Amino acid sequence: MLPAAVIREAPVDARLLRSLFLFETLPPQQLEALATNTVLADYDAGIVFAEGDPARYFFILVEGELAVSKRVGERDVETSRTTHRGTYCGATAAFIEHSPENYSLSVRATRPARLVRMAADFFGDFVRAHYPMAVHLLQGMIVDHEGVHQVVDQQHRIQAAGTLTAGLMHGLNNPVGAISRIAAQLRTRHSGGHHNGIHRRLSPRAAAVYDMLRCESMAAVHIAVGRSALQSADREDQIDDWLVHRGVDESWNIAPVLAAAGLDVNWLQHAAAALDQVDASCDIPAVVAAVADDMETLLLIDELAGASAEASTLVASARQYSQLDSSPLVESDVHDLLDSALTVMSAAMDTGITVRRDYAHGLPSLVCYAGELNQAWTNILDNAVDAIHATATGEGAITVRTTLADEGVIGIQICDNGIGMPAGVRDRVFLPFFTTKPVGEGIGMGLDLAWRVIVGMHRGTLNAASDPGETRLSACLPIRGAEPVR
């Protein structure tokens, strides 16, 4: 919908303001001051102000109808509609310290409307000057309301994630299990004597050598690990050179398969010697091609099994993260909780970020609200990722460390070597709405929520320390701190 055009503007009569419930008890002097700094504006149908625009004005409805909407994803969702005279909107929090710079909602006139309009700066100064105690009360209420709203919203998201994960697990576990079983059966059948078409074209003596080499090469697949990309490329080149020298066709296709299966030039020399012993050296190209064909099939089967196992691990991490099928207060392994949060954050931790785990052994189980703790770890990790991305290279490391800080107390430390925090920032990071991110990129509730969960719900402690190039968020959690006080 297009912005609402202002049809006409006029001065406001103090008697009109007196008729609005917001101002009906104001002393005459204050009412005149308001009237002097206020405009009566007639708007055509359309957007009066949009969410995210600079919060410049405070509006009061005199005539017409207003619809309020909130952006959800890519859509604007209407939340209310009113014709009530005296309804106010716009820069309603202009009187608080560090008031929002942008409108948090959109308001449109559904038909031509008449509005009282006053500048946000004037409205804020007026309220602070004449109602200082009310300002303090309202500011406290707004902060508490937003804090409760954020906590409840996070809880709803956790519950929604749990519901979604339950459906995904129900849908994924069966096919993932089936894929794993199929991969195991294919490997068993392949190991049990499957012969490809090339094998049938070999002479009996060459076929016997092929069967021996096939068994040896299948064992090599299991140990073909730990090589760097450069080592693999060198091995492929060496195999390709040997195959070309022996007149093997399509060596460029065979060499990568043999190298991936853990075979090398020494194995090829062994194969050639075995064929020479039975006077079947002319079958070297066919035998090598047959083994390569077998190895390619086996590698694909192993890749299928590996992908199935990875999917199962991700589903298990999602279940651990959302704490499905558990009571609100559970006994958990703190390392399982941290690992599930790291798994959830893995997409944000691109190749430029290294994760290091320094976990203490033998830690006791933690009685906790696991879903909420996972959200706290996620918020802390998210800040660490942002701090690393803000460096010149965008690369760095996150270290997650656990200790037995004291008898019955588990210590958790999350460190990053990002841009660090100045002292003035460090002292305020746990305050609600405090953020160093640009407008629109953060609302300053992530570490506040972490503080509420760790300190408020679990009776622990949470502290921040930072030096140039290193930031440490340290939490201490009593193992039974979340239990109700008896």
For residue 150, what pLDDT is reported? 58
- Three-class secondary structure of residue 436 per DSSP: coil
Helical H runs in 119-131? 120-130
Whether pTM > 0.85 for this model: the answer is no
Domains of the chain: 6-130 (2.60.120.10), 147-325 (no CATH), 328-478 (3.30.565.10)
Predicted pLDDT of residue 283? 76
* pLDDT score, position 118: 94
- d(Cα 257, Cα 125) in Å, to the nearest integer? 75
pLDDT given at position 439: 38
Q: For residue 13, what pLDDT is reported?
A: 92
Select from 251, 223, 279 the least CA-distant residue to 268: 251
Residue 445 is predicted with a pLDDT of 46
CA–CA gap between residue 321 and residue 9 (Å, rounded) = 56
What is the structure's pLDDT at 430?
A: 60
Closest CA to 60 of 16, 25, 30, 95: 16
- Separation CA 452–CA 432 (nearest Å): 10
What's the token pair of residue 234? 């060198």
**Residue 35: its pLDDT value, please?**
93
Please report, in tens digits, the pLDDT of each residue of the chain (486 residues total).
Answer: 567 788 899 999 999 999 998 888 889 999 999 999 999 999 999 999 999 999 999 999 999 999 988 887 777 778 888 899 999 999 988 888 778 899 988 999 999 999 999 999 999 999 888 887 777 767 666 665 565 555 556 555 655 555 555 555 556 666 766 777 776 666 666 555 555 555 566 777 777 777 777 776 666 655 444 455 666 778 888 888 888 888 888 888 888 888 877 788 888 888 788 877 877 777 777 877 887 877 777 777 777 776 666 666 666 655 555 554 444 678 889 998 898 888 878 777 777 889 999 999 989 999 988 878 888 898 889 888 888 888 888 889 999 999 998 788 999 999 999 887 766 665 556 655 445 454 334 434 467 778 888 888 888 888 888 887 888 999 999 998 777 654
Q: Cα–Cα distance between 364 and 334 in angstroms, integer?
A: 9
Q: What angle do CA 200, 289, 271 make, to 5 degrees?
A: 95
> 107 is written with which tokens?
């308001």
What is the structure's pLDDT at 225?
Answer: 47
Work out whether the CA dihedral 130, 133, 138, 139 comes out positive or negative.
positive
